[in-house]
Amino acid sequence: MSKNIDPRQQTIRDMVKEFAEKEMYPVSKELDQMPEPRKFPKELYRKIGEVGFIGFNMPKELGGSGKSHLEYITLVEELCYHDAAIGLLCAVGELATFPIIHFANDELKKKYVPDCATGKRIPAFVLTEPNAGSDAANQSTVAVEDGDHYIINGEKIFIMHGDVAEIGVLFCKVEGKPKMSAFIVETDQPGWQARTLKNKMGMRAATTGGIILKDVRVPKENLLGEFGKGFRYAMTTLDSARIGVAAQGVGIAQRALDESVAYSKKRIAFGQPIAKLQAIQWMIANMATRLEAARCLTYQAVLLQDKGERFSKEASMAKLFATETANFCVDRAMQIHGGYGFIGEFSPIEKLYRDQRVLEIYEGTSEVQRLVIAGNVIGR
């Protein structure tokens, strides 16, 4: 299969390459190796928004570019090929805005989406708690009615951009109601206490936050959609975002393969390029084969999404396989590069190794993807 199943994809790849050379490579190392406390790259985030990447597949009437999901997935794949952590900046903006676009009323959409789509305001998807990760429905954060507001107390953790977010799409229980709901929360209030989590292994350009909520006030009209539907909104958002994580994996795996092919042609051992050795050829053949399968699964899922068909199982299959493929390909790339892979000053492989690892964890672990797939295949 060609990398492109649609001619528009090559245009996107070329556009991202140009952006990467101008805006990403000059800051990539600095953002990855910034000493603690790490700072969120606001200026770069705004640029990513201004060129239309965050709102790529968002509706034009809400400030987006109105592209298809396939085009958006290609964008994420290509950004992550050049720098996965910077690609993640864009993907998180899209993830956190998705529930507003799909479940909020028109008033809330008009109020919040255009600024999120264009990078003017930073949104976060605020679901995970210290004791509610895979078991996301086990929320302890509670909203209590107080006149024309709700007052929210609780704690959230591992929230991408949670340390700097200006808008939180926050999931929690509502006192007196059995199921989880969701609110759009403006974070510029003293009760929203956010910090940047330290010593993150990879994806360092995109910071991750922990949030304590102490009497956070949210107007009643900022309820997202309907009461009790928060879990469904979160899971629908994650179904879509999982194709994005699969695309992150494809981008990283492609980079690992390309670096390995180039290196194996120039590295001489025993008087010949190591690319002539069958041991190296087999590693490259395995990487290329898995990468192709990962790309097929990812495109299959996103084509279903573009057609408006069910894609939950396919999204989980794509995420599971593509993220494990990224892990496999980067590991093989390190083997092919030997010491020059392990030491970051010689090649991008060390950074790829750190960046890819979280793909099997966030937006549902590989084990959770297997649960979703089995549930679809066997039936519940």
Ligand X SMILES: Cc1cc2nc3c(=O)[nH]c(=O)nc-3n(C[C@H](O)[C@H](O)[C@H](O)COP(=O)(O)OP(=O)(O)OC[C@H]3O[C@@H](n4cnc5c(N)ncnc54)[C@H](O)[C@@H]3O)c2cc1C
Min CB(215)–ligand X separation in Å: 21
Cβ distance to ligand X smaller for residue 172 or 257: 172
Structure letter (DSSP) for residue 360 = G
Cβ distance to ligand X smaller for residue 103 or 125: 125
Strand 167-174, strand 142-146: pairing? parallel
Where does the chain have alpha helices with state H? 7-19, 25-32, 42-50, 69-82, 84-103, 106-117, 230-266, 278-307, 312-337, 339-342, 349-356, 366-378
Give the one residue of 159, 180, 245, 246 binding ligand X; rule: CB under 6 A: 159
98 binds ligand X (CB under 6 A): no
Q: How far apart are CA 27 and CA 33, in angstroms?
A: 10
142 binds ligand X (CB under 6 A): no
Give the one residue of 40, 125, 183, 299 binding ligand X; rule: CB under 6 A: 125
Give the one residue of 358, 359, 372, 373 binding ligand X; rule: CB under 6 A: 358
243 binds ligand X (CB under 6 A): no
Q: Indicate the burial class of 230 (C-beta count within 10 angstroms; 0-12, 13-18, 19 or more).
A: buried
Which range in 41-49, 222-230, 300-308, 366-374 contacts ligand X by CB under 6 A? 366-374
Give the one residue of 74, 139, 181, 208 binding ligand X; rule: CB under 6 A: 208
Cβ distance to ligand X smaller for residue 137 or 285: 137
Select from 247, 211, 225, 226 the least CA-distant residue to 98.
225
The per-residue DSSP string of 30-66 comes to HHHSPPSSP---HHHHHHHHHTTSTTTTS-GGGTS--
158 binds ligand X (CB under 6 A): yes
Min CB(141)–ligand X separation in Å: 11
Give the one residue of 11, 134, 189, 289 binding ligand X; rule: CB under 6 A: 134
H or E element at residue 188: none
Give the one residue of 43, 367, 374, 375 binding ligand X; rule: CB under 6 A: 367
240 binds ligand X (CB under 6 A): no
128 binds ligand X (CB under 6 A): yes
Select from 178, 184, 180 the least CA-distant residue to 216.
184
Min CB(133)–ligand X separation in Å: 2
Min CB(281)–ligand X separation in Å: 34
Structure letter (DSSP) for residue 203 = -
Select from 248, 260, 200, 256 the least CA-distant residue to 31.
200
End-to-end, the C-alpha distance of the chain in Å comes to 34
> Which residues have a catalytic role annotated?
363
362 binds ligand X (CB under 6 A): yes
Cβ distance to ligand X smaller for residue 9 or 207: 207
Positions that interact with ligand X (CB under 6 A): 125-128, 133-134, 158-160, 208, 358, 361-365, 367-368, 371
